[in-house]
Amino acid sequence: MKKFLMIGSVLGAGLIVACQPAAEKAEAPKAEKKKLSKYEKFKMALAKQDKYQKACSNPKQLVPEGIDIETFKKEMLATVKFPEGGVVGKNIKRGEKLFGDPKRGGKSRRGNCYACHCGDPKIIACGNIGPTLRGYGNKGIDPKDTYIRIYNSWAVQPCSVMPRLGYHGILKPEEIADIVAYMHDPNSPLNK
């Protein structure tokens, strides 16, 4: 019996030793994907910026350093895509909804102009980050300039805080044209 136990012990030990490398491989911790903090994700996003975005992301938030402003504006203007039908759209109702008039069902998160601007004088809940757009169509502003400012505000004012709605694909050119139609229409609540 002792012989049998001894042989069993030796064989068992040999089996353990022989299987150990396989067991070590199986138990080796898998390389875990490191979860990135919001700050690390932000830093990665900053690293992917083009030269203009980097210039506008300076901590002083002043005029971008090392960038010629006229070249900046020309290159941003070159990104603007105009709709086939022209810069003034035909669907004023859609323009009104995209503009975001809450009284008329405008709950768009894509246009949402009321977040930063005042529009219809009857609506007192409006933003004050940007200028008021009350009476906008009566100011003699060229609709093409309005379109460009909405599509890519940096073509007009480098590093503007206004979202570049067309440039980033938030709004299609035809949708921007409809917003322009709403803003310039004499019957728009903005212009009464």
What's the DSSP call for residue 53? H
Distance (Å, rounded) from C-alpha 101 to C-alpha 146?
18
Distance (Å, rounded) from C-alpha 143 to C-alpha 177?
9
Asked if pLDDT for residue 192 goes beyond 70, the answer is yes
Asked if pLDDT for residue 165 goes beyond 60, the answer is yes
Q: Which residue has the higher pLDDT, 178 or 66?
A: 178
Q: What is the pLDDT of residue 9?
A: 52
> Which of 3-7, 100-104, 165-169, 179-183 has the highest mean predicted lDDT (pLDDT)?
179-183
Q: Which residue has the higher pLDDT, 55 or 83?
A: 83
Distance (Å, rounded) from C-alpha 82 to C-alpha 84?
7
User: Poorest-confidence range of 11-20, 66-75, 158-167?
Assistant: 11-20
Q: What is the pLDDT of residue 166?
A: 93
Mean of the pLDDT values across residues 155-180? 92
Distance (Å, rounded) from C-alpha 93 to C-alpha 95?
5
Q: What is the pLDDT of residue 24?
A: 52
The 10s digit of each residue's pLDDT in 6-62 is 544 544 444 444 445 554 555 555 656 678 887 787 677 667 777 778 778 776 656
Q: What is the pLDDT of residue 176?
A: 95
> Which of 50-54, 74-78, 156-160, 164-168 has the highest mean predicted lDDT (pLDDT)?
74-78
Report residue 69 as tokens. Answer: 């402003």
Q: What is the pLDDT of residue 61?
A: 58
The 10s digit of each residue's pLDDT in 108-154 is 566 788 889 988 888 888 888 999 999 999 999 999 999 999 999 99
Q: What is the pLDDT of residue 120?
A: 85
Q: What is the pLDDT of residue 99?
A: 87
The CATH H-level (homologous superfamily) assignment of domain 65-191 is Cytochrome c-like domain (1.10.760.10)
Distance (Å, rounded) from C-alpha 94 to C-alpha 91?
5
Domain ranges of the chain: 65-191
